[in-house]
């Protein structure tokens, strides 16, 4: 019948356009700010390898680690302008980029370990948070762990008194700024890519980093004291632009999506191991002293940071905070 011929024609057109679209070369530039030998760097490498293997070379993934292409100050703008296709900013960087719900991840002592983090990021709460990114023209594709932050300085930071007057580099996050002020320190917002130089030149005195970042940035040569405060979490959201995502054929999107899921699982498996390895290396670094806190010292720090957690806990929204705390269990 006529109807059947029309349907058949439409089906052929769809198959034809899909096949045509699949034949188009795709370039996916993935820019990030850390070294290759970190959970994010390794995840990116795995993602690239999987896409190249499965896409037969037609989908090319170009990796730009170490702020080579874009840095903290311009990467989100670059994504909006189509000058890069994929980013993995730390969760701390989304709050000031117009998605304040992400500030919840910066609350001091919210998580005790990565298992607790994953109950949030890998469940319904995490999915909801990724959906909020649409408001800022981003499509959230998943979460990745780095680990917990430790404080470094030219002295051991045993109790809150030791922070007084220190200029501490922080990421662009209201919570992290307030956290440093609560300790009597002065927060200085700097892009990650400028942190090493700022520490070397004395523009800032101290920093907070997960161990793999501290190690791979060579900070042990600049900051002789590392205090294991474990006071906050650092992880990432993988994002792309909805326009780029929509430009992919359905098959390409599925290929990229699956490769990314596998690469994220790989990075998340690696996170703890890289943290442990960095700890072992740092403990053997002659120029560095690593300090564990005693129970009373830990409690004093926690006590000083409690108002920050309480204050921002209210501002991220009672509902979200309750959902996160419920997921943590």
Distance in Å, CB of 329 to ligand LMR, minimum: 26
For residue 151, how many other CB atoms are within 10 A of its CB?
29
* Residue 81 and residue 201 in contact, taking contact as beta carbons nearer than 8 Å: no
For residue 302, how many other CB atoms are within 10 A of its CB?
14
**Rg (the chain; Cα; Å):** 22
Distance in Å, CB of 229 to ligand LMR, minimum: 15
Q: Smaller CB distance to ligand LMR: residue 234 or 321? A: 234
Distance in Å, CB of 301 to ligand LMR, minimum: 20
Distance in Å, CB of 171 to ligand LMR, minimum: 4
**Size of the chain, expressed as the number of residues it contains:** 329
Q: Smaller CB distance to ligand LMR: residue 42 or 213? A: 213
**How many helices (H) and strands (E) would you count in the chain?**
12, 10
The residue whose Cβ lies closest to ligand LMR is 90
Distance in Å, CB of 11 to ligand LMR, minimum: 46
Structure token pair of residue 69:
């292409």
Q: Smaller CB distance to ligand LMR: residue 55 or 140? A: 140
Kind of pairing between the strands at 139-153 and 225-228: antiparallel
Question: Cα(first)–Cα(last) distance of the chain, in Å?
Answer: 61
Q: Smaller CB distance to ligand LMR: residue 55 or 147? A: 147
Q: Smaller CB distance to ligand LMR: residue 136 or 159? A: 136
Q: Smaller CB distance to ligand LMR: residue 67 or 186? A: 67
Distance in Å, CB of 195 to ligand LMR, minimum: 7
Kind of pairing between the strands at 59-64 and 26-31: parallel
Footprint of ligand LMR (CB under 6 A): 33-34, 90, 146, 171, 192, 209, 213
- Calpha distance 138→130 (Å, rounded): 9
* Residue 101 and residue 132 in contact, taking contact as beta carbons nearer than 8 Å: yes
């Amino acid at each position: 019948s006529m109807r059947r011929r029309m349907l058949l024609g439409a089906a052929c057109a769809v198959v034809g356009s899909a096949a045509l679209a699949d034949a188009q070369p795709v370039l996916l530039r993935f820019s990030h700010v850390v070294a290759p030998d970190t959970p994010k760097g390794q995840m990116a490498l795995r993602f690239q390898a999987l896409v190249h293997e499965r896409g037969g070379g037609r989908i090319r993934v170009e990796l730009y680690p170490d702020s080579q292409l874009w840095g903290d100050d311009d990467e989100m703008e670059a994504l909006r302008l189509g000058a890069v296709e994929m980013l993995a900013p730390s969760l701390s960087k989304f709050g000031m980029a117009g998605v304040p719900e992400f500030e919840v991840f910066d609350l001091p002592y919210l998580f005790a370990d990565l298992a607790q983090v994953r109950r949030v990021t890998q469940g319904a709460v995490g999915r909801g948070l990724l959906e909020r990114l649409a408001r800022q023209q981003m499509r959230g594709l998943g979460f990745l762990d780095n680990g917990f932050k430790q404080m470094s300085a030219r002295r051991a930071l045993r109790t809150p008194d030791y922070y007084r007057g220190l200029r501490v580099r922080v990421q662009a996050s209201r919570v992290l700024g307030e956290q440093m002020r609560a300790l009597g320190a002065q927060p200085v917002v700097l892009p990650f890519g400028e942190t090493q130089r700022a520490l070397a030149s004395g523009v800032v005195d101290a920093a907070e980093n997960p161990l793999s970042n501290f190690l791979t940035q060579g900070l042990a040569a600049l900051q002789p004291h590392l205090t294991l405060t474990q006071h906050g979490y650092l992880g990432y959201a993988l994002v792309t632009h909805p326009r780029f995502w929509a430009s992919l054929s359905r098959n390409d999107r599925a290929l990229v999506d699956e490769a990314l899921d596998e690469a994220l699982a790989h990075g998340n498996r690696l996170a703890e191991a890289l943290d442990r390895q960095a700890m072992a290396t740092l403990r053997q670094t002659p120029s560095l002293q690593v300090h564990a806190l005693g129970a009373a010292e830990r409690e004093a720090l926690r006590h000083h940071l409690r108002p920050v957690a309480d204050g921002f806990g209210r501002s991220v929204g009672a509902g979200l905070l309750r959902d996160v705390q419920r997921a943590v269990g």
